Every structure is written in C-alpha cells, then in structure tokens.
Amino acid sequence: MQNPNKLVLLAPKCFQFNEQTANNNFFQKNNTGTNQIALKAALEHAKMVAALQKAGIETCVLADDEQLNNPDAIFLNNWFSITPNKTLVIYPMWAENRRREIRATAIEAIKNSFKISKVIDFSDKAAKGLFCEGTGSIIFDHLTRKAYACISPRTNVVLFEQICQQLNYQAISFLAEDALGRAVYHTNVMLSIGKNIIVVCSASITNPIERKMLLEQLRQTDRLIVDISFTQMNQFCGNVFEVTNQNEEDLLLMSESAFQAFEPEQIASISERVKIAFFSIPTIETYGGGSVRCTIAGGFI
C-alpha cells in the first residue's frame, strides 16, 4: 500500500512566520507589516479540510494547543509518520521551537485513530544534534521498500540510514540545491512518490552520478515521472501528495499555485492517471514556506 487512505491534519491557531526555520527554509517570506496571518492561515486550512472531506478522503484533525504558541504546528508531517504496518515513528526536528509540537495528547489521538501497533521514538536524537524531519526529510516508497532523502541541516545522513535500517527500508540519499546553489531544506519540496505519479526536480541534484542513480531507481516501476523545473519547484509543484479516498479513487493533492505552475501537458498526463485536487493556501505557503504536502501526514486503515 503506497497511498495513504486516511490523513492527519492540525487546525492551526498560532500560525506565524517562524524566524528559526527561516534560517534554511528559503521558501519562507517575512510577514513584516502584515496583519491577521494566523486567522488567514486558519481559514485557508479549514477550507482545505472541508474540500478533502467532500472529496471522500477520511481525515483526522488534531487540535492545536494555543498556550504553546507553535507557529509551525500546521506542518505536522515533520514530527511523525505512520507506516503501512501501523508503526508510529516520531522524529527529531532541527528548530528548537518546533520540538514542543510533539505532544502526548496528539500522540494518543493518532494512536487511537489508527490503532497503532508500535511506536519508535527518535526525538531524543535532537539533543545530540541529529535531525530528520519526518516525511519532510524522508520520501518513503512503500511498494519497493526504498526511502529517499536529500541531505541538509535538517536531515542527517547517519540518522536517516539508522531509521531506514530499523524500518527495513533501503536508504537512498543525495544532495540537492536550488537554483542559487543553496541546500534544499526538505526532500518533499523536490520529490513526491505516489502509487501512480512521481514528481521530481532532477535538476536540483547537482551531482550527475547521483542524479542518474536516483532517476534509475525511480524508473524501475511503472509510474508516470513528471520532471519539474526550478521555477516549478519554487511554486511547490514538488510538494504534492497522492492519496486514496473512501471510494478507492486515487487523487493528487496540490496547492493552487502548484496547479497553475504545471505545464498543460503535465496536467494532462497526470490527469490520465489520477484525479487532481488543488487548494488555495497562499498565506500558509508564503509565510510558512510549506505547501499542501507539508500540512498532511498520511496513515493507513
């Protein structure tokens, strides 16, 4: 099972520009002089959740803890993931002010919603300066039991390999940079792997040997590979997420900005394989530096 059939989201109450994460997330823009960011983000998110549910996608929406004032709590896929065999994995995050997002109440809600059989907790690795931020850092291909990660300050290669070894996945790592030569902070802005569709910004992989290796790995299955440009990556075309709804229909989730940045030919090719569902979340993308994939954790029921 590759595509999740139940999604976990968190309704944000304290969304804001996070100065700590902006250190290496170059998708973020400061909100100086901009008012009501939290309210706008909450409304965008609520509309997206409603649209997901209308599309027949089962959801589990976690409550935010307003007292903790977590600006990036909306991007919950960075601190946990769920495997098809119902293992809950908890991860160490790079930004210190994000580590408080890992809450016992949220963990219990996830365990109950998915009937979790096992919990593996790597979050204490943060104290040792080792980070790996969930499915932001790791793209799992459950069908081939391979996992992909671009190494960055937020993704330690040794820890990535340890996680893969414990979960019994083959670890495949590489370096990726944006058009200005800066490290891509998260793998899920340049790579998405679904049951039907793979989206990759191969130009971001600067080493030609690593680029060839990755593309060869991705071509080993009968999935449509959509290779996007740097410009498209910057519009979050790589931050898409393929899921399955309650009617066993496969959908590719993306933001409106990503949808508009795909070429018409790419949209046509994707639409032959899956339905496309897009959502308008400009506040979340602009000030949070993350798009639709970043706001969703996938699980299996």
- Sorted by sequence, the CB contacts under 8 Å of residue 150 that are 6+ apart come out as 173, 174, 175, 176, 183, 184, 186, 187, 190, 191, 204, 205
Q: Is 191 left (phi over 0), alpha (psi -120 to 50) or beta?
A: beta
pLDDT value for 197 = 98
Q: What is the pLDDT of residues 115-144, one digit of tens each?
A: 999 999 999 999 999 999 999 999 999 999
* Reported CATH class of domain 6-299: alpha beta
Is the pLDDT confidence value at 191 over 70?
yes
Angle subtended at Cα 238 by Cα 236 and Cα 240, rounded to the nearest 5 degrees: 85
| Per-domain boundaries in the chain | 6-299
Is the pLDDT confidence value at 183 over 60?
yes
Is the pLDDT confidence value at 105 over 70?
yes
Q: How far is 79 from 64, CA to CA, in rounded Å?
A: 14
Q: What is the pLDDT of residues 47-78, one digit of tens each?
A: 999 999 999 999 999 999 988 889 999 999 99
pLDDT value for 69 = 87
Joined together, the tokens standing for residue 160 give 């990535």
Is the pLDDT confidence value at 204 over 90?
yes
Q: pTM of the predicted model, to two decimals?
A: 0.95
Q: Closest Cα partner for 135 from 178, 177, 167? A: 167
pLDDT band at 30 (very low <50, low <70, confident <90, very high): confident
